[in-house]
Structure 1
Amino acid sequence: MSVGDGMRIGVVGAGARCKLALNAIDPAVTAASVAARIVAVADTTPQGRTRAAQIFGDDVAVVPDVSSLIDQGVDAAFVTTPDFTHAELAVQLLRAGVAVYLEKPLAITIEGADEVLRAAYESGSKLYVGHNMRHMPVVRLMRRLIQDGAIGQVKAVWCRHFVGNGGDYYFKDWHAERAKTTGLLLQKGAHDIDVIHWLADGYSVDVTGMGDLAIYGDVTDRADNSGRVMGDWFSYDNWPPASQTELNPVIDVEDISMVSMRLDNGVLASYEQCHFTPDYWRNYTVIGTEGRLENYGDSAGGTVRVWNKRTSYNESGDASYPIPEGEGGHNGADALTVAEFLRFVAHGAATDTSPVAARNAVAAGVAATESLRDGSTPRRVPALAPELLDYFAHHQKRRGVA
């Protein structure tokens, strides 16, 4: 690739997340990374190809499959297809010498995740997994406070995720099917599990899960939404949860779930998600040897509060830090991950995301899902092969946990 000619970008999948790739040609992003242009979009459906032409314009080739996209001579590709296709598509691109921005989660099985990492290892192609939460201002603020010693050594991390948009986001399409997601403790939870690992500087080794399909399984109004995308049906008027309409014909994933984790450095952690709450945000509590911190809100206007003195109830904490505002998707995190990806591909620059971390989040989510469906029996999280750990430690530069 000649950086001077501009990086040639392809997009695989013209669904709800494909607009993420537009950040690659946003001057505000490219000015901080490298010039790039989108030259091709691949989608296997007629509706997707029509949507691709509308979003990306007449100058971009619209093709029916990944092989055709590779034939367009792309340097890098954004994979924004449904989760169950991630591993196969990423492997094909990596083995063809194309750098890959792979939407999270990395895969829906541990085997699939390991296959993607092995393809990057064997091909030498660059792999970046879009765990954009590592660039969300609230997460970066919490991590900075921890690294600055605000609460001492981390000993516990708790996360409650109120997924108020769950009925629209996850129960009207393929997300609702085990065969296509494994479960939402993986699909949704992998993102927060990755953040927990990052804040704690460790990876889960033992997990125990619990969950249920408490609400949406009883909703009888079903529809085939395969020709639509989430924006076509999303509405805050879809409330209360039991009155939802046009849910996916197959619903066999849990709408409330939780996992307890023991990390390799001794930190204890828990993650809970509920898809029928009225509000939509995440709450993290991190407890250390000299205090604790907690976020109130997870975007601009919220705060991260620190307690590091003995007290009874103290709502405001001993110190309060405003969550910075970011522009664009996920409070600015989407643009920042894309810029980081472009710098990584063009210059080998360091990244705050990690393929190994992405794999370990998937592995913890899969093991937790197996546990909750087997009477909450404890599960050991399988370790990544040593040669892959060594490769990504020495041949793919990055900051933070790896």
Structure 2
Amino acid sequence: MPAVKIVLVGCGMWGRNIARNLNTLGILAGVADINAENARRFAAEFDTEVITVDEALEKPGHDAIALVTAAPSHTDLAVRALDSGKAVFVEKPLALTVAEAERIADAAKAADKPVMVGHLIRHHPVFRHLLTMVEDGAIGTLRHIAARRIAPGRIRDVESVLYDLCPHDLALIAALTGMAEPDQVACQAICHVTAGVDDIISAQLSFGEGVTATLEANWYNPVKIHQLTVIGSEAALIFDDTRPWPEKLMRHAFRAGHEDGMVTLERGEAEVIPVPEGEPLREEMANFADAVAGQTEPLTGIDEALYVQRIMARMQDAIDQSKLSQTKMPQTRML
């Protein structure tokens, strides 16, 4: 592990997981939070020092920050850190608009420092194995990607489920399609908890050469479902992150088409694909440390972050247009 010094900014629920892994890797150099008591608790738990947010962003002697704060604060804090010559890890979403994301990208380019975004599942050993299998032709030609992320976790009241959950699966779609820009994006949303903050998202993406994707994200549900299905011309792979580790990745022989004017469907027995166990967050923080040290590029770097931000913007536009058309629909009388 390279001898880099990384300061955590944001001592909340997810920040504790980041701190734990940075500490285990021996690269946690301090913690900062606008709530001094939260920072003191983290410092005691992980045997590190408390520093102010201003010191974390601007004080010399630290190589990087891990930014795990509320999404609306990401842009200003990331730019300040980059302007001070520090590499930056930003928990997803990178930003809430494309303009904000581009501002971070411009600051990173000017500083010549890496920015890495917390698209955690891209670092998951099971997804990385699945991606290799797809690239090696294990399912034939890629046809469809179906992502479902149903997570009854903390429901937010500022950014919607689009910005909280969708970045994970959009990053997986980016990897599987080579960051191809979709030709078409359709998206619908439902709000139940906080007015104006969507809780349920359903999206359809169409790419060139017959590749499609569907995406469902929902935090308004009592049951957790984290499943990625990748269908090809010869087989399908299913990554179910709620299953025990030995059962997380399955391959299904699966072929649908036409023969003699009839629709045909061939299905085979499910095959368990073994993948060595690993902790995705540990892999993510190790990759960031290597990027800070100049030993590698971030797996989930600024180009992928901008791609995800663009797709989220198109999804939001589609949601807004759908809501606009609904308000313009003429009311009908029931007879």
TM-score class, shorter: 0.7 to 0.9
Q: What amino acid is the match of 2:170?
A: I
Provide TM-score, normalisation by structure 1.
0.71
1:142 to 123, 130, 133: 130
Superposed displacement of residue 100, structure 1: 1.1
How far apart are the structure 1 equivalents of 2:54 and 2:180?
A: 33
1:255 is aligned to 199
Q: Considering only aligned residues, what root-mean-square deviation do their CA atoms show, in Å?
A: 2.6
Superposed displacement of residue 287, structure 1: 2.0
Superposed displacement of residue 266, structure 1: 5.4
Superposed displacement of residue 267, structure 1: 2.4
1:286 is aligned to 230
2:10 to 6, 13, 16: 13
Superposed displacement of residue 65, structure 1: 2.1
1:124 to 112, 127, 139: 112
1:347 is aligned to 294
Q: What amino acid is the match of 2:164?
A: Q
Give SS of 1:278's match: coil
How far apart are the structure 2 equivalents of 1:269 and 1:377?
A: 25
Q: What amino acid is the match of 1:283?
A: Q
How far apart are the structure 2 equivalents of 1:106 and 1:264?
A: 27
1:24 is aligned to 22
Superposed displacement of residue 152, structure 1: 1.6
Q: What amino acid is the match of 1:48?
A: N
Question: Could you list the runs of 5+ residues in structure 1 that have no partner in the other structure?
Answer: 31-35, 218-250, 327-331, 379-402
Superposed displacement of residue 265, structure 1: 6.3
CA contact (8 A) 1:208 1:377 kept: no
CA contact (8 A) 1:156 1:288 kept: yes
| Residues 18-67 of structure 1: CA deviation (Å, up to 9, x unaligned) | 231332332xxx4xxxxx5433322112333333333333x51x233234
Asked if 1:373 is matched to 2:320, the reply is yes
How far apart are the structure 1 equivalents of 2:253 and 2:269?
A: 9
| Residues 251-305 of structure 1: CA deviation (Å, up to 9, x unaligned) | 5311211111123665221101222333212222222233322234455143322
2:70 is aligned to 82
Q: CA, structure 1 residues 200+335, in 2 after alignment: closer, same or farther (shift >3 Å)? A: same
Question: Could you list the runs of 5+ residues in structure 2 that have no partner in the other structure?
Answer: 257-263, 326-335
Q: CA, structure 1 residues 305+347, in 2 after alignment: closer, same or farther (shift >3 Å)? A: same
Q: Give matches, 1:253-402, under 5 Å.
A: 253-263=197-207, 267-299=211-243, 300=245, 301-308=247-254, 314=267, 316-317=269-270, 319-322=271-274, 324-326=276-278, 332-375=279-322
1:196 is aligned to 173
Give SS of 2:30's match: strand
Runs of 4+ in 1 over 6 A off after TM superposition: none
1:213 is aligned to 191
More relative contact order in 1 or in 2 (CA 8 Å, sep 6+)? Answer: 1
Q: What amino acid is the match of 2:123?
A: H
Asked if 1:45 is matched to 2:26, the reply is no
Q: CA, structure 1 residues 67+25, in 2 after alignment: closer, same or farther (shift >3 Å)? A: closer
Corresponding pairs, count: 313
CA contact (8 A) 1:208 1:376 kept: no
How far apart are the structure 1 equivalents of 2:296 and 2:128?
A: 19
